[in-house]
Structure formats: C-alpha cells, structure tokens
Copies of this chain bind each other. A is one copy, B any other.
Amino acid sequence: MSEPDAALLSLNTATVRTQWSLPQVVAGCLRHGIRGIAPWRDQVAAVGVKDAAARIRDAGLVVSGYCRGGLFPAIDRDGRRAALDDNKRAVDEALAIGARCLVILAGGLPKDRDGTIRSKDLAGAREMVRDGIGEVLEYARPAGMPLAIEPLHPMYAADRACVNTLAQANDLCDELGPGTGIAVDAYHVWWDPRLRQEIARAGAASPSRLLAYHISDWLVPTADLLNDRGMMGDGVIDLPLLRSWLEAAGYRGMHEVEIFSANHWWKRDPDEVLATCRARHRECA
C-alpha cells in the first residue's frame, strides 16, 4: 500500500489541548509542515473567532473540520431549543474560520440542564437527533456549511452520541438530504463488520458524503473510555486498510489526527507530539 500524502495530514487541536492555545497550535503546525487544522470551539473562543480565523488564514492552513455541533437530546423543550441556538452559533463560527464542515456529535440519552441523564428512551433520543440535525440544516444548508455526522463508538451511546454506526449515519443522510455528510473516525468505527460496505455507500452518494476522516489508534488494554486513545501505530487498527477503503470510495480529503490521551500524549512536549504525528502518519496510516 502506498504511503499517505503528507500534505493531507491535519491536526485536531484536541491532540495538544492541555499544552497549547490555538495560536500556539497554528504556529506549531507551520513549524512541523502540517497543512491542516481542526479547532475546537472552546479553543477558538479563548482567542475570539475573528482572531482565530485570521491566524489560521494567514498560516494558510486548511480547516478540515470544526468541532463541534450537535448534542441535541434534552429532557425538555427549552433544552432542545438551547441546543439549536448553540448549533446556529457553531455554524456561524465554522463559516468564519472557513471550515470544510461542522462536525456533528449526536448527543446521548436526554439530559436535564445539569447534564444528568433523565431518560432511558434511546429510540426517542435518536429521533431528537434526527429532528435536531434537520433544524440546524435549515440554517446551515443555505449558508453552505456541510454538517458532518460523526458516528461515535457504542461505548459512548449513553452519554455522548447515540449515532453509533456508519449505517445509522448513512440512514440519517438518506433521510435529511443535501447538506449532510459523514465524518469517519477510525477509533469509533474500526470494529464495525459493515465498515467497508458503509464507507462505499457514503462515497457512492452524490455528492459524496465522506466529509472528514479522523485517525488515532485503539490501545490494548484501553485504560479509560474517554481519554486513552493511541497514536497511529501504537494500537490494533489496520489504518492503511481503512484508508484504502476511503480512497476506493473516492475520498481525497485530509487525514485528521485526533488523540485524547490524558496519561500519555497530553503530558508530552507538544513539539514531540506533532513530530510523532507526522512520522506515524507516514509510517502507519
């Protein structure tokens, strides 16, 4: 299998979130020859959207995605309306920084305003997600901001995202239509027996639904459900195989490294982290 194009490497800012502010990440990407970036809203907010947009534009970085919208299910109407308003702001910010898509994290079971889960109605939560994306779409589609639905690993079904397979994301795109697409994150979907078929299905849609591709690795053992992702090559995911499936489905976008790693990469020198991302992208992805 051929090496991935180094120009397609993008850095999700969460990968060095404990070490660097957004301006530092932008400067780091320039130093390490990384051509893409995917910022998180809190890191953008910390410097202001205008300043963030200017720095990214001046650095000539591609914004492979903006993290994140979504989190729709709520126990009452006010909660759902608050989510909708917040998603519209996220669309505005994504437009301001020139993101290729707004990443949509579904949200899990319905919560109250304190963030406590108040319902076990998973099917109902999935309907709230469909309705929520549909409402954001009315705002995002005319503005030209694609919504990239990101299926999350089933271990997050309760508290983070009740969209847990590519099949589900494809079904949502079927139902919601133009302006929706999919973010494929290797960490979340690598286990899925239908992965290859559903990637092909997403790529065969017109236009292609394959809006983003996130990479990291699944460690064995995994010490923590949330913040123990591995650097490419340190785990068990056959990343070159996944990439070949995406390429066969027509994907030509960035390869965005997104690693939450409380006990390892978040404790390292961030320049070492970026250098490792570059090397491992070339060798292991």
Q: At the interface with chain B, which of A43-51, A70-78, A215-223?
A: A215-223
Given contacts A153-B154, A158-B218, 17 further A-B contacts (CB under 8 A): A109-B236, A120-B236, A120-B238, A120-B241, A121-B238, A122-B190, A126-B193, A154-B155, A155-B222, A157-B190, A157-B191, A158-B236, A164-B191, A164-B192, A165-B193, A167-B193, A221-B225
> By the criterion CB–CB under 8 Å, are B222 and A120 in contact?
no
The answer, yes or no, to whether A208 is at the interface (CB within 8 Å) is: no
Place the interface of chain A in its size category: 20 to 34
Given A120-B237, A154-B191, A220 and B126 contact (CB-CB distance below 8 Å): no
A117 in the interface (beta carbon within 8 A): yes
Consensus secondary structure, chain A interface: loop
A226: nearest residue on chain B (CB-CB)? B221
Given contacts A164-B193, A168-B193, A225-B225, contact A238 B122 (CB under 8 A): yes
Measured CA separation A218–B122 after assembly (Å): 13
Q: A153 — which chain B residues lie within 8 A by C-beta?
A: 154-155
- Mask, A120-164, CB within 8 Å of B = 1, is 111000100000000000000000000000000111011100101
In-complex Cβ contact of A154 among B167, B168, B192, B238 (8 A): B192
Q: Which A61-106 residues sit within 8 Å CB-CB of chain B? A: none
Question: Inside 8 A of A222's CB, which chain B residues have their CB?
Answer: 155, 225
**Residue numbers in B under 8 Å from A120 (CB-CB):** 236-238, 241
Q: Which residues of B contact A154 (CB under 8 A)?
A: 153-155, 191-192
How far apart sit A91 and B247, CA to CA, in the bound complex (Å)?
45
Residues of B within 8 A of A122 (CB): 190-191, 238
